[in-house]
Amino acid sequence: MTRPRVAIAHDYLTQRGGAERVVLALHRAFPEATVHTLLYDAEETFPEFRDIPVVTSPLNHVSVLRRHHRLGLPVLAAAAGRMVVDADVTVVSTSGWAHGFDFRGRTVVYCHNPARWLYQAEEYVGDARALTVPALGLRALSPALRRWDRKAAARHDRYLANSTVVRDRIEATYGREAPVLFPPATVTGAGPQAPVGPFPPGFHLLVSRLLPYKNVDKAVAAFAGLPDERLLIIGQGPDEQRLRAAMPANVALVGGVSDAELRWAYASCTALLAPSIEDFGLTPLEAGAFGKPTLALRRGGYLDTVAEGITGLFLERPEAADIVDAVHRERAIEWDPEAIEKHAQQFGEEQFRDAIVAEVDAQLASAT
């Protein structure tokens, strides 16, 4: 009997973030699957992908797009439409491009967010009114891309959302019901650790891509007013140069760290700072695996992953003054590491794997 063929699709594998960790978790659930993606940069994403068969689009031959995928905005939709994925069921991990691939079987879409570059444009390119190439291109192409995006969303067999807020966005944008399946927290307390950064243990930690909507600049400004505290930032992105120019001596930024270094940072911090607007709040769960609380913005996915007063505190606004206030409040609380760890364990990979395998099995049964 021929075994069913399962494939995985993802927008692009050119960075290290939560969505890329989800793809690795999907491949552990379906170890014989090939991963299909528009762009792949082995040096910039997680090294585990080197042991996985990855199929890319012809755009991957354009090296500048692997480092700056936003420059490919005028051609990414066309390239996505030409990505043929021939499998009985494909699990589509997407934030807007991969669900437009040419699938020859049934599909389960695991949606991290409806296309941010269309529906939350200022987060994607900064000021969408600016006279930059990405912003000008987005304004010109948006009407056609919205039609393309909604047509792509309509043809799939099953949609899943990675958080409550994304579920609501999917319904508002595509008119589709999408049950919530939380992604797994795959950075856990198990495994080696390696020191990173200039500070001894006891610092605050911020783990984030360096993009405008992440509000890292507000954290830097807050710690400029907290000279007795230390902030270690782990991340890469377009805002790096601007952030470094504004950093006081008690703030440090390091880029592409290993998982061993990331584990050390979580284990050594006092608390995690999370002032951004996230589709799913993954980093509080990673910090929680080490018994560390989170100071998070009361928005988006953090509403699903932070239990106020038990695993962390909320900021009402992503402003320096609110961050300073949260640090003072956090320092006055005696946190229970065991309660924080127990909360994080609810978001384990085993639960995610069992749920996604059941979704694929349901699609295979529907095809027979």
Say whether 301 sits in a helix, a strand or coil: coil
Rounded to whole angstroms, the Cα distance separating 160 from 141 reads: 27
| Domain carrying residue 219 | 204-347
Do 161 and 220 belong to one domain? no
How far, in whole angstroms, is CA 71 from its chain's centroid?
Answer: 20
In tens, the pLDDT along 8-55 reads 999 999 998 889 999 999 999 999 999 999 999 999 999 999 999 999
Do 134 and 274 belong to one domain? no
Domain assignment present for residue 245? The answer is yes
Do 253 and 320 belong to one domain? yes
In tens, the pLDDT along 183-234 reads 998 888 889 999 999 999 999 999 999 988 899 999 999 999 999 999 999 9
Strand order of the β-sheet with 231-234 is 251-254, 231-234, 204-207, 271-274, 294-297, 312-315
Do 52 and 105 belong to one domain? yes
Rg (CA), the chain: 20
Domain assignment present for residue 198? The answer is no
Total number of domains constituting the chain? 2
Backbone phi, then psi, for 72, in 5-degree steps? -90, 10
CATH of the domain at 62: 3.40.50
Do 336 and 360 belong to one domain? no
Rounded to whole angstroms, the Cα distance separating 14 from 222 reads: 31
Question: Shortest CA distance to 125 belongs to which of 116, 134, 133?
Answer: 134
Rounded to whole angstroms, the Cα distance separating 368 from 68 reads: 42
Angle of CA points 240, 268, 256, to nearest 5°: 30
Rounded to whole angstroms, the Cα distance separating 362 from 120 reads: 33
Question: Shortest CA distance to 95 belongs to which of 276, 280, 259?
Answer: 280
In tens, the pLDDT along 68-85 reads 887 888 899 999 999 999
Domain assignment present for residue 362? The answer is yes
